[in-house]
Amino acid sequence: MDIVDNKALRVTTDTPLQITTCIPKSKDMGDGSVLVSWGVTEAHALRDLGFNPPSPIANRYKWTGRYTPFDHQKTTASFFVMNQKAFCFSEMGTGKTASAIWAADYLMTQGVIRRVLIVCPLSIMDSAWRADLFSFAMHRRVDIAYGAAPKRRKIVSGDAEFVIINYDGIAIVEKEIADGGFDLVIVDEANSYKNPQTARWKCLNRLVTPKTWLWMMTGTPAAQSPIDAYGIAKLVNPEGVPRTGAMFRDVVMQQITKFKWQPKDTAVATVHQALQPAIRFTKDQCLDLPDMVYMKRHVDMTKMQTLYYNKLRSQLVMEAAGEEVSAVNAAIMMNKLLQISAGAVYTDDNDTIEFDISNRYNVLREVIDESSHKTLVFVPFKSTIKMISERLRDDGISTEVISGDVSAGARTDIFKRFQETPDPRVLVIQPQAAAHGVTLTAANTVVWWAPTASLETFAQANARVHRAGQVNKCTVVQLSASAAEKRLYAALTAREVVHMEVVNLYKQMLD
């Protein structure tokens, strides 16, 4: 098979008639070869005939947006174009969203699809998907279907070419989605569809027809058990798995006792076969990626947090009106806003008001579950460290805490076990307690539960994983809910000396 130009392929074959019959616009050249238009439809038809044509996006697409794609992103986009239903299991931080956006945009330019529904967690609807669509396909109309039901219905039924929605939002507007002309559904962090018994799974299954394009993405397929593969395989490759989950369980698991099952020796191969077609890149395979990738995750504050945050902010606006604010006072005031955002705030009487941290904790779990290695969680405020660590342990995630209250000897033991043994899987750390001189390269994911006001602490804490001995590329995830947190992260990422800018930051937060 030869590329004639960016519009045609020359296919050498013993049966030219077979190709010309299946591909109407092809031409028998009379020399044992057939000239075939190089488009999506023709490429798929050639593949169905047993050939291996290159993906037409490779030569026929102007990679749009403000960034040049990495080689592995081009390969992933090419894979998507050649597979109507497929998995992408590339690790977090490898740029899966951009690859999917480019592939979808190309299919739109070819008239293969008209509209795309992106299904993802709340935390990345805006910070990841809308931001990436603006970066890589800014010429497309994009909207987020979130909020009250009438608002969602209006957006889904509107003219946006890309509509972003959260998992459980689909059920609210299922009819509108079914009637909305969505040819492609992209599911991010697809592990949320591992259980076909859930209403969430059944809703998506009703919307995905044989003609629907479906791309499901997650960095950790079947991370907890081989059984977890069944739900997502049933959506993408239903012919590749048994009719029921119980039958699949019997294929991949063996019963040890009445309540205990363990994977069979053949489970890995069975799961691999079920989760096809698929593509996967690890961060370490992506040689053109930077060694440290920064990602943002948005978190919604609870109603109580919002009430306290706005009340305190109003008081600070009044206190700052017409008065010169010192750096010390600005830091104290800003710290209060950050504490509320993070989940607990100290009162003037040194009592602690705790808020519901479920929203932020759920996003933390998403990141931990997507991470291919261990995770560090940096928490600037002691008041929330206990809340987080207890929730993680209750969920069965082996967790240790490093804070000023932990003795030097105990810290040494925890660090040693973290580096050399499977447990703990997560360290919850007060940044000042492990910002210097500690090697924690068993982790390749850093999560900031909330930002620190010190650039030095921020950089040094990240360097616990990104240092000599690290063999994996690393990801830093920043959780934020309020304007105060977002502005502080922006200053840290821009490597501004935050303590010198604290007054300006404080004034910006009140504006």
Q: 389-446: per-residue pLDDT in tens?
A: 999 999 999 999 999 888 888 988 999 999 999 999 999 999 988 756 688 889 989 9
pLDDT over 90, % of the chain: 51
Calpha distance 373→377 (Å, rounded) = 13
Cβ atoms 392, 423 nearer than 8 A:
no
For 70-279, CATH gives 3.40.50.10810
Question: What pLDDT score does 161 carry?
Answer: 98
Calpha distance 125→185 (Å, rounded) = 15
DSSP per-residue codes, 258-303: SS-EEE-TTHHHHHHHHS-SEE---TTT-TTS-SEEEEEEE-PPPH
Position 145, amino acid: A
Question: What pLDDT score does 352 carry?
Answer: 80
Averaged pLDDT for residues 455-465: 83
Question: What pLDDT score does 233 carry?
Answer: 96
DSSP per-residue codes, 398-430: -EEEESTTS-HHHHHHHHHHHHHSS--SEEEE-
Give residue 491's pLDDT band: very low, low, confident or very high (50, 70, 90).
confident
Give residue 360's pLDDT band: very low, low, confident or very high (50, 70, 90).
very high
Cβ atoms 169, 99 nearer than 8 A:
no
Give residue 501's pLDDT band: very low, low, confident or very high (50, 70, 90).
low
Place of tokens 């930051």: 505
Intrachain domains 70-279 and 292-299+354-510 with the same fold? yes
Q: Between the ranges 213-222, 312-321, 392-401, where is the mean pLDDT highest?
A: 392-401
Domain 292-299+354-510, classified CATH 3.40.50.300, yes or no: yes
- For 432, residues 6+ apart whose C-beta sits below 8 A from its C-beta are 404, 457
Q: Which of 106-120, 222-236, 303-317, 477-491 has the lowest mean pLDDT?
A: 303-317
Q: CA 223 → CA 192, 234, 299, 320, distances in Å?
A: 12, 17, 24, 51
- Going from N- to C-terminal start, the domains of the chain cover 2-54, 70-279, 292-299+354-510
Averaged pLDDT for residues 266-288: 87
Question: What pLDDT score does 206 carry?
Answer: 96
Q: Between the ranges 40-49, 218-227, 496-505, where is the mean pLDDT highest?
A: 40-49
* Predicted confidence (pLDDT) at residue 328 exceeds the cutoff of 80: no
The first and second tokens of residue 275, run together, are 């989760």
* Predicted confidence (pLDDT) at residue 326 exceeds the cutoff of 70: no
Give residue 336's pLDDT band: very low, low, confident or very high (50, 70, 90).
confident
- Name the more confident of 351 and 308: 308
Element (H, E) at 165: strand 162-166
Give residue 159's pLDDT band: very low, low, confident or very high (50, 70, 90).
very high
Averaged pLDDT for residues 500-511: 57
* Predicted confidence (pLDDT) at residue 122 exceeds the cutoff of 80: yes
SS3 190: helix
Give residue 58's pLDDT band: very low, low, confident or very high (50, 70, 90).
confident
Average pLDDT score, the chain: 87
